[in-house]
Chain A
Amino acid sequence: MANHRCGSVSEEEPCCDISKKTKICLCVFFGLLVAVIIAVPVGILMWRHPLQEWKGKGTTAHFYEILLGRCYTYTQIVRPELGHKDCQKIGKAFTTAFLSKDPCSSTEQDYQPLLELTAQTVPCNKTLFWSKSSQLAHDYTRVQGDLFTLEDTLLGYMADGLKWCGDPRSSEMNYQSCPDWREDCSNNSFSVFWNAVSKRFAEDACGVVHVVLNGSISNTFDERSTFGRVEVFNLRPEKVHQLQAWVMHDVGGVHSDSCSSSSVNNLKRILKERSIAFSCQNNYGPIRLLQCVKNPEPSSCRFYV
């Protein structure tokens, strides 16, 4: 454009005849052009790789909207007795716990404000733990509405199935990837969250508590599971006087473990050391019925006629 203007003035006369103003304008224009030529590739490079790359799946799309919507659904509809909770504050406390931070250096302290805002009383005798039996345990509490798994409490309900992490060099959530527990780091913001809330869920339990275990796998009580590592050790003996286990076998499936197997006896021993009584039942009736709903296998699911 400038050349054209220069050219149109006169092709024979040199360009130093143009006015000072125009010279300044041209300088500024070229200066900007150069700046843009340099800045754009740099910007693109930075935009393409500004966040750390991890081996695990990234933050769930629309994480914040989902979180907030679930908080309101839970406090207004599912458990309206919690209607006084401030979901805006809770949402803020959640994201503050991990945004702009190294996702591999997460601590329980990061989640303390969130835990305080979402404190909830689960009635005694209504706590239901689960291990390697998520689908069945949640199918059961969906039907038996007065029992609570962790995912039936406010905070568990909000976070269930979601993934999240931040980045120290950005105030944004990392939607591309998040640390994998095994391949990247174990103190990641996701795992630390679930450890912290599981711990509190166990600490808050009282009376007789229950656990749904999977008898169709080996190692039905797994000391490396969240139940085995965190929840069992955070039950308070002065509040919880008994843990009752329901060992469920897949309908028509393998009977790998049962109440009498060694892994379950291990659980019994651990609880005894903590002064908590233990009882166990194979294929607890109501949950067996639920399994039969999905899979009305003739030998295990026929009614007594």
Chain B
Amino acid sequence: MAFFSSTATVPQNLTFVSSNKLSFSPSSTTSFNFVSFPSFQSKFCKTITSSPQITRAHAPPTPSTETTTASSFHGLCYVVGDNIDTDQIIPAEHLTLVPSKPDEYQKLGSFALIGLPDSYTVRFVESGETKTKYSIIIGGANFGCGSSREHAPVALGASGAAAVVAESYARIFFRNSVATGEVYPLESETRLCEECRTGDVVTVELAENRLINHTTGKEYQLKPIGDAGPVIEAGGIFAYARKTGMIPTR
């Protein structure tokens, strides 16, 4: 599975290449974040190489072609604290939405992180909006704890977030993130949630396991992805299983 790099330098007339599992059809109406990117980007001259590949778990199926993986993510970050549980990521009342139905998938995105308490004065998705302007979420310990609801990483991905960089994860959320490809779950070495502020411009360099905060000028080491690596690289659990011969190819 591939994760897009959300930068306004990527042209609007992208050709979407699809994987055998997760893909957007070229005719998809959701051209997402590329359209509504904030104006800050004109101030920051750093352009990031990225694959034009965008894959999402719940998009309509398309004929299979090769996947290429993104090498980085770039955009504004949204900072949360410790133990952000799945009820805060997507409150239970919204779980009647079925992630595998495209229109309900989009609705889930509009409710991402709506359960955060009022102490979070800046909302992740502005009221009235359906997408977020923050492509990277920076979290503390035990991110995604609580329920097994896959709606949680799905809501984050559907809202337009590309990656989460947390100090640590709860296991079901991490697993679901890897399985769906909705958000790339990265782990930091230190408490980035104390180093970064919502609205900072950050870049995550995957190959180098590095996060750069352009606003503060600091760089941070990230942990390598570990055992989930082969599954992510293959393109998710289905792709991995096909690749290793555990289930028949389609």
Partners in one complex: no
Which chain B residues have a beta carbon within 8 Å of chain A's beta carbons? none
